[in-house]
A and B are shown apart, each in its own frame.
Chain A
């Protein structure tokens, strides 16, 4: 059957006959295919058509539409898909069967909504406000930690009264005095490297937010564990500053000194005892390494191995110096890694950013805070680098682009 557009007047008449509408033949004997298709309701309101059709031409118009559809189907047979077909097995065709005379039963165009799963378009809005909030949260947690250390210091049993607890590592390895300095130097190196790397990142606001939040939460947990049960000093070599029972002013000064020195023994600010479970040094060493590895190009394996060595050796030196119990270090490592991986899994997986019955990661207490921070971040944050304060963005790594395509 040739296309309607190619019909001549004769074809039209034949068709009208076939369709059982011979009354129109006389009136439409001049119309050919295109003209037939262009008939509208308005044409039936004026003579001569108005005289011929009792129903305002509806039937004829319907038949014309069917004809159009049939030719479309022919087209589809020949490979021209254009999206509106009736009666596809998996389509959702709207049918109105209401038992009337059938005029309304017919749906000419049936829309099939095909749910297209569009990959979420990545967007990484900077939102420095949220990073600021995360920063304040971290600062609050740091200050709280220092206050709690100061409080706990008053309750540490003196080493003569409660000797150091038995520890497997201490049984195997004797104490080395220089070890703790190495640990702190490694820690400072790692923090410095991470800082430089962070400044060079393009999406530093998002990543900074994550760092501050995780660090803050880890120190908050640390406050709790330090406070509820006080472990005795791990070694007789400890020199704890005297207790300032009730002397608030001196305690405040001690707190300030600790904050100023960053809690490090090298700076002479860590003279208080009692902050053993769990080890803050391990937290910083582990966390900076995790962040460095996560947000640097994958091919910098030598850099990753170097940082891993710094981190591992630093942790080993904590124990070698008998400055923390083994359980402090193990618990700190566990909590840091779990929190880091938990947060990043939720951040990278869109389906985990909504609470649902199957999303059990959402049952942590900080889930709302996490949603607040990460709601507008769509997709995995790419490792792009950009010098700060300059508009020039350069991509170190072509592989970064590939990984973006992979993920999306």
Chain B
């Protein structure tokens, strides 16, 4: 590439002329004719030296240099062409918004959340009774006795983290792309959870758990339960979580871990205190799940593992563009690779962590509504 560009018909030699008269060492500022090109090579030109006449030399050299400058100027203008460097134009296309893809991801997440609720209701019917199947031996439970208020702490922490992440997300510039990723990961993790909950049903982890009675064939009652669970977000705080059997793996751990990972990934690096605070919330929430004897240790460990691995996997695939063309891209052997390609095909660079100020946010919202208003009028 470089060689052919160098050899061109009209060789552009951007020049800058520094004219100095050599016989007057006092002259310190050489007159320069710059023509605006970044790289130049300077020619030193000297006026014709005259051995004989020393007195008029400086004036003559001054005049000569002026003439020289003028002639050079003309020549340079003729010879040099300016090159247009397009820098910023392509930049906006590298991170297109594509809100409709975010919408698709949102629907995917919503579907999976609803599906999870349905599966919980089904699994609830199959949970062995406490008397028939006592809680399984768990190492953490052997060491730490149950603390009743611990689970409330977990859920409060979870709500705080989700709230913080929501606010952070609203202020991000590339909301659409980041939101898409969040919805996709939530959807996939909850889908995995459906599978593991359904295939093997673990008994309740503690005798304290109060499970709602089983509704054997009462479909209407089951639908009511599903709706109640959805509206309460599956939290015990909202008294929507009366069903048992959804132990492997823990959805609370997923939300705590995932919101922390997203918060950390999409916030500026210098806000270390914020990261540490969120990390503390997350970890204390997870430990409190176990302290409250609401989940087995295995549920929490597997949830943490699956969440972190899927998050890191997805983001590495999204950020490492060499992988997209690499022949040995094993990361693409996951089943959700086609979905990933659909979502991230046009994202050509790592999403930078850029925030909009509240004013900018409001103005962009106004703009969008304004434009929608115009369209409607038309």
Q: Which of A187-202 contact B (CB under 8 A)?
A: none
Are A345 and B327 in contact, with the CB atoms below 8 A? no
Docked CA distance A338–B83 (Å): 50
Q: Which residues of A contact B37 (CB under 8 A)?
A: 87, 89
Interface centre among A22, A165, A166 (most CB of B within 10 A): A166
> A342-B313, A348-B326, A358-B320 in contact; A87/B298 too (CB < 8 A)?
no
Verify if B69 is at the interface (C-beta below 8 Å from A): no
The 8 Å CB contact of B328, one of A79, A81, A337, A345, is A345
**CB neighbors of A among B126-152 (8 A):** 126-128, 132-134, 136-140
Residue of B nearest to A155 (CB): B137
B286 contacts across to A, CB distance below 8 A? none
Interface string of A76-98 (1 = CB under 8 A from B): 11010100011111111101010
Contact (A277, B298) CB under 8 Å given A165-B133, A327-B196: yes
Please tell me if A359 contacts chain B, counting CB pairs below 8 Å.
yes
B20, A101: Cβ atoms closer than 8 Å = yes
Question: At the interface, yes or no: B198 with Cβ under 8 Å from chain A?
Answer: yes
- Given A87-B39, A330-B196, A403-B327; A105-B44 close (CB under 8 Å): yes
Once the chains bind, are A331 and B128 in contact (CB under 8 Å)? no
How far, in Å, is B26 (CB) from chain A's closest CB? 10
Is A242 in the interface zone, CB < 8 Å from B?
no
Q: Which A residues touch B137, using CB under 8 A?
A: 155-157, 229-230
The segment from A106-114, A243-251, A263-271 found at the interface with B is: A106-114
Which residues of A lie under 8 Å from residue B9 when comparing CB positions?
Answer: 77
Collect the chain A residues with CB atoms within 8 Å of residue B30's CB.
Answer: 99, 101-102
How far does the alpha carbon of A277 sit from the alpha carbon of B299 in the complex, in Å? 11
A134-142, A220-228, A307-315 - interface stretch: A220-228
Identify B12's interface contact among A89, A161, A330, CB under 8 A.
A89
Q: Is B41 an interface residue (CB 8 A)?
A: yes
Q: Counting CB contacts under 8 A, is B350 at the interface? A: yes
Residues of chain B at interface, number, CB under 8 A: 79
Instruction: Report if B248 contacts A (CB, 8 A).
Output: yes
Q: Which residues of A contact B198 (CB under 8 A)?
A: 168
A156 to B198, CA, bound (A): 23
**In-complex Cβ contact of B201 among A165, A229, A340, A342 (8 A):** A165
Contact partners of B158 in chain A: CB under 8 A: none
Residues B128 and A166 in contact, CB atoms below 8 Å apart: yes
Q: B312 near A361 (CB under 8 angstroms)?
A: yes
- Residue of A101, A232, A325 touching B136 (CB-CB under 8 A): A232
Nearest chain A CB to B68's CB is how many angstroms away? 11
Q: Mark A130-170, 1 if CB is under 8 A from B, else 0.
A: 00000000000000000000000001110001110111110
Given A76-B6, A81-B7, A325-B200, A229-B14 contact (CB < 8 Å): no
- Residue on B nearest A335 in the bound complex, by CB: B305
Whether the Cβ atoms of B316 and A344 lie closer than 8 Å is no
Q: How far is the CB of B160 from chain A (nearest CB, A)?
A: 24
Which chain B residues border A390 with CB–CB below 8 Å?
Answer: none
Task: Find A99's partner among B28, B132, B311 (CB 8 Å cutoff).
Answer: B28
CB of A59 within 8 A of CB of B46, answer yes
Stretch at the interface among B47-55, B270-278, B354-362: B47-55
Per the bound structure, the CA–CA distance linking A337 and B38 in Å amounts to: 54
Given contacts A157-B137, A327-B196, A361-B312, contact A87 B331 (CB under 8 A): no
Which chain A residues border B328 with CB–CB below 8 Å? 344-345, 348-349, 380, 407
Contact B139 A359 (CB under 8 A): no
CA distance A97 to B134 in the complex (A): 86
The minimal Cβ–Cβ distance linking B271 to chain A, given in whole angstroms, is 15
Report whether B7 and A76 are in contact in the complex, using a CB–CB cutoff of 8 Å: yes
How far is B304's CA from A224's CA once the two chains are assembled, in angstroms? Answer: 14
Judge if A360 is at the interface, Cβ distance under 8 Å. Answer: yes
Find out whether the CB atom of A81 lies under 8 angstroms from the CB atom of B301.
Answer: no
Assembly CA distance A359 to B319 (angstroms): 7
A62 at the interface (CB under 8 A from B): yes
A333-385: which residues lie under 8 A (CB-CB) from chain B?
334-335, 337-338, 340-342, 344-345, 348-349, 351-352, 357-361, 363-364, 380
- Interface residue from A156, A169, A228, A407 paired with B199 (Cβ < 8 Å): A169
A360 to B326, CA, bound (A): 18
Compute how far the CA of A22 lies from the CA of B298 in the bound complex, rounded to whole angstroms.
95
B370 at the interface (CB under 8 A from A): no
List the B residue with the shortest CB-CB distance to A380: B328
Task: Provide the bound-state CA to CA distance between A328 and B248, in Å.
Answer: 11
- Within 8 Å CB of A156, what residues of B? 137
- Of B22, B199, B326, which one neighbours A168 at CB under 8 angstroms? B199
CA distance A213 to B196 in the complex (A): 27
Interface residues of B in 10-54 (CB under 8 A from A): 11-15, 18, 20, 22, 25, 28-30, 37-44, 46-49, 51
**Interface presence of B342 (CB below 8 A):** no
Given the interface pairs A225-B302, A345-B331, the reply to whether A360 lies near B200 with Cβ below 8 Å is no
**How far is it, in angstroms, between the C-alpha of A349 and the C-alpha of B323 when the chains are bound?**
8
Cα distance, A54 to B41, chains bound together (Å):
26
Give the residue name and chain of the B residue nearest to A348 (CB): B328
Q: Are B196 and A77 in contact (CB under 8 A)?
A: no
The list of the 10 closest CB pairs from A to B, nearest first, reads A341-B330, A358-B319, A229-B298, A327-B200, A102-B44, A228-B297, A360-B312, A326-B199, A86-B41, A20-B48
Q: A87-B12, A340-B330, A348-B326 are in contact. List 9 more A-B contacts (CB 8 A).
A: A20-B46, A102-B44, A106-B42, A157-B134, A168-B198, A338-B309, A342-B330, A348-B328, A360-B313
A residues at B contact (CB < 8 Å) = 20-23, 59, 62, 66, 73, 76-77, 79, 81, 85-93, 95, 97, 99, 101-103, 105-107, 110, 114, 155-157, 161-163, 165-169, 224-225, 227-232, 277, 325-328, 330-331, 334-335, 337-338, 340-342, 344-345, 348-349, 351-352, 357-361, 363-364, 380, 403, 406-407
Pairs across A and B, CB under 8 Å, 19 listed: A20-B48, A20-B49, A21-B49, A79-B7, A101-B20, A102-B30, A156-B137, A157-B134, A161-B134, A163-B128, A168-B198, A169-B199, A225-B302, A229-B299, A326-B200, A327-B200, A344-B330, A348-B326, A360-B315
